[in-house]
Amino acid sequence: MTEKFDNIFKTNAPEAKAPRAIIAAVDTGDYDVERSIAELRELIRTAGGETVAEVVQKRDAPDGATCIGAGRLEEMKRLADDFEADIAVFDTELTAAQIRNIEDVLDIEAIDRTMLILDIFAQRATTREGKIQVEIAKQKYLLPRLAGMGKELSRTGGVVGMRGGPGETKLELDRRHIRQRITNMQRELKEIEARRGQLRARRKKDCVLSAAIVGYTNVGKSTLMNALTEAGVLVENKLFATLETTSRSIILPDGRSVLLTDTVGLISRLPHNLVEAFKSTLEEASGADVILHVCDCSSPDIEEQTKVTRELLSELGCDGIPVVTVLNKADIADWNGAFLPEHTVLISAKEGRGLDRLLEELSESLPETARRMKLLLPFSEAGLLARIRAEGNVFSEEYTPDGIEVDALVDQKLVHAAERFVK
């Protein structure tokens, strides 16, 4: 079963055809199965596969042995043969026993939604932190499924002198090995998180303003990041095109600097282990001064996607942080923009439309740590000008017969002293 994580949709030759997948889903009425299947098709495409057929069965609950009933499984077998499918992808989590039983009937590999997402994450993770997060999620997924992975795991692996002791089964050895591996990786991840926390604390101490870009996967977060900062973040029309955070500093219209951070995209029914594994990345949002919630206003599923994002932000403790809703993809949306709620901006990151208004809204939503002011300072107030230079930012100054004309970003604690010299 562990090999499934390494070669689900990989092909050995560049000219090889994309692996052909058949989708299976059980409609229990707990969620919108059509929307979920559409998302699963996109996940398969992102992983490098092609969907050739779909089978949906309405049931009160998935079948304990094969997820879908025996009749539908035989139908899948015929479809798999007719379309020469390479893999069956189930839109729900499967047990190891279910996978084994399904593969015995279909005679092709079977995986579930979680394994597919894990495969995509494994393909896209590039930093040490990202790779550790993916590996932890994989091992947590694997641990409860070891018991159903086959008879070979029931063989005793204990030999005199072995750490496990005489009579310990291979299943027990594997479980202990995985638990230890998870513990070691969590320890390393905590060290990375601690360093990240120290950086956040340093930024707060230095009064560095920050904004986090969050939202559903494939809504254009990376495109927006590139449009605002020229960060060079990978942009693809695929789910989970980028997994790691990217941070860049930008100058706002009022002269203040803000650190903008792009975070991993979200998805409906994201497996709990994946949410846990990527919380350290998403926690950038909980420490931000403002959250830019990017939505795809061309998507028919915008309400559901918005709900998923808001629920996870709440789970991360982001309640109370100002949120600017960014309706992206106005270039392809049938949206007249006649009325927008407060703190909502309509943009096209691809075409650069609406970005000036977005930056203005971001400036207004950030805490007032400094104010841009035009002053006429008497020559006797050279000391105040020196403090403004040291703790703020002077854009221009001109010595005139009446005093020093200054255009400056004045730190909040100096605003009161400077107000009497406003031009």
> Could you report the per-residue pLDDT of 14-48, keeping only the tens digit for each?
556 788 999 999 999 888 899 889 889 988 988 88
What does each C-alpha distance from 258 to 100, 225, 294, 316, 369 come to in angstroms? 52, 13, 18, 22, 11
The pLDDT score that the predictor gives to residue 312 is 78
Phi-psi region of 48 (alpha: psi -120 to 50; beta: other; left: phi over 0): left
User: Please, how many CA atoms are within 13 Å of residue 201, restricted to the half-sphere of its CB?
Assistant: 6
Bridge partners for 111 per DSSP: 89
Cα–Cα distances (Å) from 34 to 54, 67, 247, 318, 351, in that order, read 11, 18, 36, 31, 32
Residue 131: what pLDDT?
83
Residue 277 has what pLDDT? 61
Full set of structural domains in the chain with CATH = 2-10+19-121 (3.40.50.11060), 125-190 (no CATH), 208-365 (3.40.50.300), 370-419 (no CATH)
Quick one: pLDDT at residue 157?
41
- Paired strand residues for 295: 327
User: In 10 A of CB 30, how many CB atoms?
Assistant: 10
Tell me if 264 sits within 8 A of 243, measured CB to CB: yes
pLDDT at 12: 46
Sites in the chain below the pLDDT cut of 50? 12-13, 151-167
Is the entire prediction scored with pTM above 0.75?
no
User: What does the pLDDT read at residue 254?
Assistant: 82
Count CA atoms closer than 13 A to 19's CA, side-chain side.
Answer: 23
Q: Is 402 helix (H, G, I), strand (E, B) or coil?
A: coil
Supply the pLDDT for residue 13: 45
Q: State how far the Cα of 110 lies from the Cα of 73, in Å rounded to an integer.
A: 12
pLDDT the model gives residue 193: 76
* pLDDT (0 to 100) of residue 368: 77
